[in-house]
């Protein structure tokens, strides 16, 4: 598989290590940022995703990078990620992404988003299946079959959306990890579902949280926004 740096000139000015500004890890070790985004994006009734494929995949890729950031393994600075800590991660998928970042030459965040997006959906789905939160099913005609994902428990699947939506609609303080999750939802267009029927003040509140996000998270969300925008033009 080509690396995210394939076809690009190497960057000379990016330091190997940047000062760490880690936030707290996700709320639950068994439900991580990418898991929550997956469940936010999944229509639990149909087993299909609420967004077009590329936006979903880019959102999941961004969420995987966010997981590494909140573990203190990487940081993001002006559109470039850098590994801060190459110790093994507590999760196989996180370790796989970190291992690829350690093995490849420096590449812009947007290149990593595109690279990780290729397999992010299957990888996160496999993690959720392994945890018993969803099951997969193939459907369709013999020459056109697609994979559908169905929650094993409807309440558990709906919880990320219900929790985050309630916190935003009541203008509660969000932890940095939830700002990242809400920001990825906003930048991929999933806020239309998350805040369905909410007032303009609530939408403005979400936009303000994203605009005031700490620089590494803000940089990641900016790159997601550009990547999703470019995908709609291609």
pLDDT at site 179: 97
**Which pLDDT tens digit goes with each residue over 166-175?**
999 999 999 9
Name the residue range of residue 204's domain. 33-233
Q: Kindly state whether residue 19 falls inside one of the protein's structural domains.
A: no
Say what the pLDDT of residue 101 is. Answer: 97
- pLDDT recorded at residue 144: 61
pLDDT of residue 86: 96
In this model, does residue 191 exceed pLDDT 50?
Answer: yes
The number of domains in the chain is 1
pLDDT bucket at 13, cuts 50 / 70 / 90: very low
For every residue of 71-88, which 3-state class applies, written as one string?
CCCEEEECCEEEECCCCC
Domain-embedded: residue 152 = yes
- The answer to whether 108 and 65 have CB atoms below 8 angstroms apart is no
**CATH number, domain at 189?**
1.10.3630.10
Q: Is the dihedral of CA 63, 66, 67, 70 positive or negative?
A: negative
Backbone phi and psi for residue 153, each to the nearest 5 degrees, phi listed first: -145, 120
Q: ∠ CA(96), CA(102), CA(106), 5° rounding?
A: 125
Report yes or no on 8 lying in a domain: no
Looking at residues 186-200, what average pLDDT do you find? 97
Q: For 29-44, how does the pLDDT look when each residue is reduced to its tens digit (9 = 90+)?
A: 346 999 999 999 999 8
What integer pLDDT is reported at residue 139 of this predicted model?
A: 72
Q: Could you tell me if residue 28 is inside a domain?
A: no
Does residue 25 fall inside a structural domain? no
Residue 181 lies in a domain: yes
What pLDDT was estimated at residue 205? 97
pLDDT in tens, 127-161: 999 999 999 988 766 656 678 999 999 998 999 99
What band does 21 get if pLDDT is binned at 50, 70 and 90? very low
Beta strands in 60-143 (DSSP E): 74-77, 80-83, 134-141
- pLDDT per residue over 62-95, tens digit each? 999 999 999 999 999 999 999 999 999 999 999 9
Whether residue 106 has pLDDT greater than 60: yes
Q: Count the neighbouring beta carbons within 10 Å of the beta carbon of residue 74.
A: 27
Give the pLDDT of residue 233. 75
pLDDT at 26 > cutoff 80: no
What is the DSSP annotation of 20-43? ----PPPSBTTB-HHHHHHHHHEE
Write the CA distances from 5 to 12, 58, 203, integer angstroms: 13, 17, 36
- What are the backbone dihedrals phi and psi of residue 87, each rounded to the nearest 5 degrees, phi first? -65, 155
Task: Using alpha carbons, select from 40, 96, 106, 36 the residue that is nearest to residue 68.
Answer: 96
Give 16's contacts (C-beta < 8 A, 6+ positions apart): 82
Q: Are residues 179 and 69 in contact, defined by beta-carbon separation less than 8 angstroms?
A: no
On whether residue 7 sits in a domain, the answer given is no
Q: What is the pLDDT of residue 147?
A: 85
Tell me whether residue 104 is in a domain.
yes
């Amino acid at each position: 598989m080509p690396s995210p740096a394939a076809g690009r000139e190497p960057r000379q000015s990016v330091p190997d290590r940047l000062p760490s500004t880690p936030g707290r890890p996700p709320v639950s070790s068994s439900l991580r940022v990418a898991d929550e985004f997956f469940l936010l994006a999944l229509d639990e009734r149909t087993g299909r995703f609420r967004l077009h494929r590329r936006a979903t995949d880019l959102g999941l890729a961004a969420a995987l990078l966010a997981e590494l950031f909140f573990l203190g393994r990487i940081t993001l600075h002006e559109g470039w990620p850098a590994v801060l800590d190459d110790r093994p991660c507590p999760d196989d998928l996180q370790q796989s992404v970190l291992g690829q970042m350690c093995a490849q030459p420096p590449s812009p965040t947007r290149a990593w988003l595109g690279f990780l997006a290729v397999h992010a959906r299957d990888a996160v789905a496999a993690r959720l299946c392994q945890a018993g939160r969803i099951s997969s099913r193939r459907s369709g005609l013999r020459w056109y079959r697609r994979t559908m994902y169905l929650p094993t428990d409807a309440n558990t699947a709906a919880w990320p959306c219900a929790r985050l939506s309630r916190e935003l609609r009541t203008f509660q303080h969000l932890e940095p990890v939830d700002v990242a999750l809400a920001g990825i939802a906003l930048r991929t267009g999933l806020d239309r579902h998350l805040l369905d029927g909410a007032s303009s003040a609530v939408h403005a509140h979400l936009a303000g949280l994203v605009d005031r996000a700490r620089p590494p998270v803000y940089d990641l969300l900016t790159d997601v926004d550009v990547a999703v925008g470019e995908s709609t033009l291609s």
